Structure 1
Amino acid sequence: MGGFDVVPQECVQYIQKYMTSSQYKADSEKALEEVTFYLSSCCTLEGDGKDAWIFDVDDTLLSTIPYFKTHGFGGEKINATSMEAWMRESKAPALGHTLKLFHEIKNRGLKIFLISSRRENLRSSSVDNLIKVGYHGWTGLILRGLEDEFMEVQKYKSKARHRLVDEGYLIWGIIGDQWSSFEGLPIAKRTFKLPNSMYYN
């Protein structure tokens, strides 16, 4: 089922059950096992300081499930004002499976860039939240500026990757929970999609 702006009401209960279940965690961990295999078997890094890896933020590094527990699990149209107010509280928990992998990738010598659809005015609270739950040592956090405000997510993230490539970075991989994190050029050598039933993009 596709082409919807919000989750159909008849599906909300199933999505809530899945996103709060051990199966969601198991599926996420399975997807990230592929990353570990890729890193250990296929990545021969250049070692010039320009080896890069990209993470999405929401529902990749930080969980928005606490917010959606009271906002319909995708069955309600997202209220940006309400969601940004929640983000400013810097209370989103880490997704444990990606927290561990984040540090593994960093320790291998890759430069980590976080490309988020969050707006620039959320930088301080986003940094506070990330550090508080255990993320640190990334090279760049890219957020939407005023010039990106009305740009489609896929085009905005593609533009951000272009900037990194123009700066000489080789993007070895991207981890995200929405297809818009991967679509468009330039592409990474590998992409890894985490499960997220609340979105169809």
Structure 2
Amino acid sequence: MAARSMMMTSARLATLAVALVLPWLEAAEGAPWFWPPISGDDPYCLTWRVMVEANNAKGWRAVPAQCVGYVRGYMAWGQYYRDVGAVAEEAAAYAAQVAPPAGGDDGRDAWVLDVDDTCLSNQPYYQVKQFGAYDPVAFRAWASREICPGIPAMQWLFQTLRSRGFRVFLVTGRDEETLGSCTAANLAAAGFSGYDRLIMRGALYRGQSSVAFKSAVRRQLVEEQGYRIRGNVGDQWSDLQGDCAGDRVFKVPNPMYFVP
């Protein structure tokens, strides 16, 4: 019964996500939001996506040309949101097992959540670009608009973690100087309010890999500030690797781009 309930919740979250996110695609550079669904699974592209999620495909700069339509269909027509919903439910079930005890909480049990394509969706931006190579100038312009929609399953997980007494830290590779205020505003507008801290990449960590930057942040939380990272959620394996990664990590699917 529990498994069936979780599947039903994933389906509801997927339906809600499609309804909420599709109109946002229209906001990205005036592109039409409607794309016809892809019929069936392309065997090559399905295999490629599995390789990406298993972290066996590394260092790729753009979605293979023959898989652009496949990725567009996966991201926009329900399966992506069902997959994210399943991750959120597994994370919530685990959180229920390790939640700090009522009355005996020292306030040090924490979760770390990534921001881009974990909490906030950049699907409209990448879809317009046909999932091409990362362009830092164009992405900064997109993020500055503060219109990234929140991912419904992650909104639900975020509120669930907070309600269970965990401290929640949002850690992102976005540049603090250029995107700090707009990222905070976008998160608030998308329903992510009440987190303990938004930690962004400052001048000290510019040019460093995501693994190095996020490891340093987590080490500070654990070794200097005494937090226990019970869970860690991200869309890239580089969010989840390195030092003090957490007692358990949860990978959100993302076949749109790769961050080393």
Bucket of the pairwise TM-score, normalised by the shorter protein: over 0.9
Residue pair 2:63, 2:257 contacting (<8 A) in 1 also: yes
1:94 maps to amino acid:
G
Q: Distance in 2 between matches of 1:168 and 1:141?
A: 18
1:137 aligns with 2:202: no
Q: TM-score, normalization: structure 1?
A: 0.94
Identify the residue that residue 157 of structure 1 maps to in structure 2: 214
| RMSD value, Cα | 1.3
Identify the residue that residue 161 of structure 2 maps to in structure 1: 105
Mapping 1:3-42, distance limit 5 Å: 3=58, 4-42=60-98
Q: Distance in 2 between matches of 1:105 and 1:40?
A: 9
What is the aligned counterpart of 1:68 among 126, 148, 159?
126
- C-alpha displacement at 1:41, in angstroms? 2.5
- Aligned length, in residue pairs: 199
Q: Distance in 2 between matches of 1:186 and 1:159?
A: 9
Q: Distance in 2 between matches of 1:192 and 1:43?
A: 17
Residue pair 2:100, 2:165 contacting (<8 A) in 1 also: no
Q: Which runs of 4+ in 1 moved over 6 A?
A: none
Single out whichever of 126-135 and 44-53 deviates more from structure 2: 44-53
What is the aligned counterpart of 2:251 among 184, 187, 193?
193
1:136 maps to amino acid:
S
What is the aligned counterpart of 2:109 among 51, 72, 86?
51
Identify the residue that residue 176 of structure 2 maps to in structure 1: 120
- C-alpha displacement at 1:33, in angstroms? 1.2
Identify the residue that residue 42 of structure 2 maps to in structure 1: none
Secondary structure at the counterpart of residue 72 of structure 1: coil
Q: Distance in 2 between matches of 1:200 and 1:120?
A: 21
Residue pair 2:99, 2:165 contacting (<8 A) in 1 also: no
2:79 maps to amino acid:
Q
- C-alpha displacement at 1:113, in angstroms? 0.4
Q: TM-score, normalization: structure 2?
A: 0.74
Which runs of 5 or more residues in structure 2 are unaligned? Answer: 1-47, 49-56
Percent identity over the alignment is 36
Q: Distance in 2 between matches of 1:187 and 1:88?
A: 29
Which runs of 5 or more residues in structure 1 are unaligned? Answer: none
Select the structure of larger CA radius of gyration. Answer: 2
Q: Distance in 2 between matches of 1:117 and 1:133?
A: 19
Q: Which has the higher contact order (CA 8 A, sep 6+)?
A: 1
